[in-house]
Structure 1
Amino acid sequence: MQQPDTIAASAAKGGVAAPALPGRDPRIDAFRGLALITIFIDHVPGNPYEFYTLRNWGFSDAAEAFFLMSGIAAGLAYSGGIGRKGLAEGGLPVWKRAWTLYLVHLFLTFWAIAIYAAGSHWLQNPDLLTKINLRMVFSAPEDTLPALPMLLHQLGYVNILPVYSVLLVTTPLVIWAALKRPGLVMAGSILLWFAAGLWRLNFPNYPNPGGWFFNPFSWQLIFTIGLLTGVSLKQGNRFVPKLGWLFWLAAGWLALVLVWRYVPVVGSMLNHQMARLGSFGIPFHFVSHDKTFVALPRLLHALALAYVLSCLPMVRRAAGSGPAGFLRLLGRHGLLVFASGTLASLVMQVLVFSLVNPAPAAWAVLPVGMVVMLGVAALAERRRLARLAAAKAGPAVDSMSRMMAPDLPPARASAK
C-alpha cells in the first residue's frame, strides 16, 4: 500500500485512480462510483448503454444503491463524532453537509433551466420547455420560481439531492439513537415507511399536484439501513450478520426477480397474483413496483443484492483492485462527480432530444460522461492530496523555522 506522500507524487505525475485509502472499505467508494456512472447513463433516455444498467436486471436501480451507500458512508463518517461530542456538536458537520447539498441542488436546478432554455432557442426545439417538469417554470413563473428554493417544485433528473439533504438534517438524531438502541431505530424506520405507503404521506409538490418523486418518508428506510450498517461497521461489527440461509434466500430472490422480468409466462402470472392481493386489500406498496414509495419488491431486491455482494470476499478484493481504482476515485468525490455528471447529462439530453440524427450524440453519452466525471474527480483528488501533503509538511516547516529563529514566538492558529 502506498503512503500518502507516494500517492501524492503519483497524482502529481498525472495519475488518475488512486489506491484504496488505508482503513477505508473499498467497496463503499467503488459501488458509489459505479452507481454514479449508472445514474448518469439512466439520466439520458435513448442512449444505447441504458439497456445494460442495473434497472434491467431487477426491480431496483442505481438510486437505491446510491442511498444505501450514502447512508453507510454517513454512518461511518459521523457516528464517531456524535458518540464522542454529543448530538449538538457532533451533528454540526452533518448539518453543514445538508446545507451544502441544498445549495448544490439549487445550482443544478437553475442550470437545468438555463441549459434547456438555451437548447430550445439554439436548436429550434420549443418542446424542450415542456420536458423534465419545466412547463410550469415558463408558463407560470410567478408561482413556480418561488417554489424552487422551497423545494416544492423539482425538475426531473435533478430531484435526488433534496431528499438526501432532508435525511441528513435528521441524521445526527438517528445516529445518536442508533448508538443506544439500533433495533428501535430500525423498527421506527420500517413503521414510517409502512405508514407513508398506507396513507400516502409525502412532501407537497407545487404548483403541480402530488408530492416529491423521491418521497423522504419512504426513502428514509433505505438510507437508515445504510446508516445503521455504517454505525455497526464503525464499531467493528456487521449490522446484518453473515448467515448461510439468509445468503441463499437473498440469492434466490434475485434469481426469481430475474426470471420474473424476462420470462413472460412467469412475469404475467406473478403480476396477476400481486394484483389479486391488492384487490383483497393488501397495501399498494406491498404489491406494486412503485418507486416514489419504495414498494416492497423494489426494496427487497435492493437489500438482497447488497447483502449478497457484502458476503462475497471476491467482491471486496475486486473493489480494492487496481482496475477498480477509477470507480473508487469517482465514489470518493461523490458530490462533485454527481453535480458535474448531472450537468453533462442535461446537455446530452438536449442534444439527443433535438438533433435530427441523435445516434452520434446517443453513442457519445458514456464517453462524454466518463471524461467529465473522471476529469472532475481527478482534479478534486489532486487538490485533496496537495492538502494532505501540506498538512504533513506543515509541522516540519514550523519546527525548522523555530530552529533558525528561536527568539520568535510560536505561531498562533489561524482563525479561518
Structure 2
Amino acid sequence: MAEGSATTQAAKRPVGAPVSSRDWRLDFWRGLAIVFIFWNHSVNNVMSWLTTKNYGVSDSAELFVFLSGFAMASMFVGKFLDRPIMAIPYGFQRAFTLYLHHIAAFVVIATLAVLYREYAGSSIMERDLFVRPFLVATETVLPKLATLGYLPPLLDILPLYILLTIMVGVLFWLFRDRWFFYAAFAVGVWTWAQVSGATLSSYPDTRLWTFNPFAWQAVFLAGFAIFLAREEPWFRNVMAAPAAIALSITIVILAFIAAAPWATLGLYEWRPLRFITDIADKANASPVRLAHFLAMAHLAALFIRKESRLGDTLLGRSMVLIGRKSLPLFVISTVFAAMSHGVFDWFGHGVVTQVTFSLLGALILVGLAYVSEELRTTKRVTPARAPTGAPAPQPREGAPVVPANAPPAPRRS
C-alpha cells in the first residue's frame, strides 16, 4: 500500500521538479536576514523599522550567524558524517572562498568611495566607511587588510564567518554529530572570553572586532547544535511544552518593552527595562541577546510550519531564492548598504529617497536571485537527440522488443 502511494505521489509530481528534503524555511529566513541587514546597515534608514532591530535586544546579525551554523551542520552531516576528517579541508576551502568575497567587497566599496569623491567632490563615503586610511597609508594598511587586521564598517561579518568555518571543520572531525560537545565547547569558550576579555583588534590597534569571534562562536554553534538535536524526543517535547512557549512569549514581550520603540521615535520617554538593553552587549554576544533571538526563533518555528503556504507566495519564493545564494547576494547587499552613504548625501536623506533606494536594492537582489536560479536550471544536462530526419534504429529480426523504461538486464557472471 505504501509503495503504491509513493508511486501515485511521484506520478503527480511535475516532470523535472526537484525532490529535496531541505526545509525551505532555512533559506527563507536567510534571505530575509540579508534584506534586513541591508536595510539596517543603510544610513539611518526608515526601512529598518520593518526589521526586528527596534523591537527587541537582538537583530538580524544573530539570525544570519545562527542560520549559518544551522546550515553548516546540515551540510556536514550529509557529506562528512562517514568521513569526518574531510570536514577539515572543506572548512579551509570554504574559508578561502569567503576570504575572496571579503576582499572583493572591500575593493568594490573603496572604488565607489573614490569615484564618489571625484564625481561629487565629497569624501563622505571615504570617511564614513573608513576607506581613507587605506588610501593614504596603503603600505601599512594593505598587509592588515590581507590578514583581517583592517575591518572597515560593514565588512565585519565575513571575517567572523571565515574563522568560524575553519573552527567548525576541526570540531566536526572531533565531535561528529554529538550535539552536547558543541554546546559544551561553545559555553566554555564564551565564558573564557567574558572572564579574560579576549578579543581581536583591528587597525588602528585601538579598534576591536565588531563581533568578538570568541563570543560569537556561541551563536554559530547554537545553530549547529540545535540542528543536530532537533530530532531528539526531549528536544521536540521542550519545543512543544506550554511552559517553554510561555517563556518564549514572555522573553519577546520583555525585550520589546526594554527596546522601547516609542522612546526611539521620540513619542514618549519611558524606558522601564532599560537595564536589559544596557547589558545586551552586541560585540561580546550577550546571553540576553541570544535568549531573545532563540525565543523569537522558537515561536517562528511553531507558527510557520514547513507545510505553510508562505513558501509558495511571491515573497516566500523570493526570499528562498536569495537564501540559496546567500554568500554572493550578502556581499552585494553590503555594497548597496555602503552606497547608501553616497546616495543619501547626493539626493538627500528624505523618507522618499530612503524607501525608494531600499526597495530598489531589495528588488535587485530578488532579480539576481531569480536569474541565478534560471542559470542553475539551464545547466542540467539534456539527453542528446538524433538529427531531424534521421531514421530510428530498427531491431534485428527475431530480437525481442524491450520497452524504453524497462530496467537493465542482470549482467551474467
Decide: shared fold, TM above 0.5. Answer: yes
2:99 is aligned to: 102
Residues 397 and 340 of structure 1, relative CA distance in 2, 3 Å threshold: farther
Alpha-carbon distance in structure 2 between the residues aligned to 1:361 and 1:313: 33
Give the Å deviation of 1:359. 5.0
Larger Rg: 2
Residues 269 and 343 of structure 1, relative CA distance in 2, 3 Å threshold: closer
Assess if the C-alpha contact under 8 Å between 1:136 and 1:207 holds in 2: no
1:128 is aligned to: 125
In structure 1, which of residues 195, 199, 205 is the aligned counterpart of residue 196 of structure 2? 199
State the Cα deviation string for residues 17-55 of structure 1 (Å, max 9, x = none). Answer: xxxx63111110111111111011112113321222111
Give the Å deviation of 1:2. 5.2
In structure 2, which of residues 333, 342, 348 is the aligned counterpart of residue 341 of structure 1? 333
Q: Does 1:43 align with 2:41?
A: yes
Residues 66 and 238 of structure 1, relative CA distance in 2, 3 Å threshold: farther
Q: Does 1:370 align with 2:367?
A: no
Q: What is the identity, as a one-letter code, of the residue corresponding to 1:303?
A: L
What are structure 2's unaligned runs of at least 5 residues? 1-11, 387-391, 394-413
Give the Å deviation of 1:350. 1.3
In structure 2, which of residues 12, 23, 26 is the aligned counterpart of residue 25 of structure 1? 23
What are structure 1's unaligned runs of at least 5 residues? 8-20, 276-286, 405-416
In structure 2, which of residues 370, 373, 380 is the aligned counterpart of residue 381 of structure 1? 373
Q: Does 1:331 align with 2:323?
A: yes
In structure 1, which of residues 321, 337, 343 is the aligned counterpart of residue 312 of structure 2? 321
State the Cα deviation string for residues 380-412 of structure 1 (Å, max 9, x = none). Answer: 21122123x31xx46x779xxxx98xxxxxxxx
Assess if the C-alpha contact under 8 Å between 2:257 and 2:272 holds in 1: no
Q: Does 1:295 align with 2:286?
A: yes
Give the Å deviation of 1:134. 2.4
Assess if the C-alpha contact under 8 Å between 1:203 and 1:211 holds in 2: yes
Q: Secondary structure at the match of 1:56?
A: coil
Q: Does 1:190 align with 2:187?
A: yes
2:302 is aligned to: 311
1:115 is aligned to: 112
Moved more, 316-325 or 124-133: 316-325
Alpha-carbon distance in structure 1 between the residues aligned to 2:15 and 2:128: 46
State the Cα deviation string for residues 326-349 of structure 1 (Å, max 9, x = none). Answer: 111111111121122222222233
- What percentage of residue pairs aligned between the two structures are identical? 23
Q: What is the identity, as a one-letter code, of the residue corresponding to 2:117?
A: S
2:274 is aligned to: 271
Residues 6 and 183 of structure 1, relative CA distance in 2, 3 Å threshold: closer
Query: Residues 225-264 of structure 1: matches in 2 within 5 Å?
Result: 225-233=222-230, 241-242=238-239, 243-262=241-260
Assess if the C-alpha contact under 8 Å between 2:92 and 2:165 holds in 1: yes
Residues 370 and 143 of structure 1, relative CA distance in 2, 3 Å threshold: same
Give the Å deviation of 1:206. 2.1
Q: What is the identity, as a one-letter code, of the residue corresponding to 2:343?
A: L
Alpha-carbon distance in structure 2 between the residues aligned to 1:156 and 1:97: 23
Alpha-carbon distance in structure 2 between the residues aligned to 1:267 and 1:122: 45
Give the Å deviation of 1:357. 6.2
Assess if the C-alpha contact under 8 Å between 2:248 and 2:298 holds in 1: yes
Residues 356 and 182 of structure 1, relative CA distance in 2, 3 Å threshold: closer
TM-score by length of 2: 0.81
Residues 303 and 309 of structure 1, relative CA distance in 2, 3 Å threshold: same
Give the Å deviation of 1:74. 0.6
Alpha-carbon distance in structure 2 between the residues aligned to 1:138 and 1:179: 45
Residues 137 and 255 of structure 1, relative CA distance in 2, 3 Å threshold: same
Assess if the C-alpha contact under 8 Å between 2:257 and 2:271 holds in 1: no
Residues 129 and 340 of structure 1, relative CA distance in 2, 3 Å threshold: closer
Q: What is the identity, as a one-letter code, of the residue corresponding to 1:320?
A: G
Alpha-carbon distance in structure 1 between the residues aligned to 2:74 and 2:256: 32
1:11 is aligned to: none
TM-score by length of 1: 0.80
Residues 116 and 75 of structure 1, relative CA distance in 2, 3 Å threshold: same
Assess if the C-alpha contact under 8 Å between 2:26 and 2:67 holds in 1: yes
Alpha-carbon distance in structure 2 between the residues aligned to 1:251 and 1:96: 41
Alpha-carbon distance in structure 2 between the residues aligned to 1:3 and 1:94: 37
State the Cα deviation string for residues 160-209 of structure 1 (Å, max 9, x = none). Answer: 11101110011122234443542232122012112212322112212241
Assess if the C-alpha contact under 8 Å between 1:341 and 1:372 holds in 2: no
Alpha-carbon distance in structure 1 between the residues aligned to 2:328 and 2:15: 22
1:217 is aligned to: 214
Q: CA RMSD in A?
A: 2.8
1:144 is aligned to: 141
Q: What is the identity, as a one-letter code, of the residue corresponding to 1:362?
A: Q
Residues 385 and 199 of structure 1, relative CA distance in 2, 3 Å threshold: same
Alpha-carbon distance in structure 2 between the residues aligned to 1:313 and 1:155: 37
Alpha-carbon distance in structure 2 between the residues aligned to 1:210 and 1:225: 27
Give the Å deviation of 1:368. 1.7
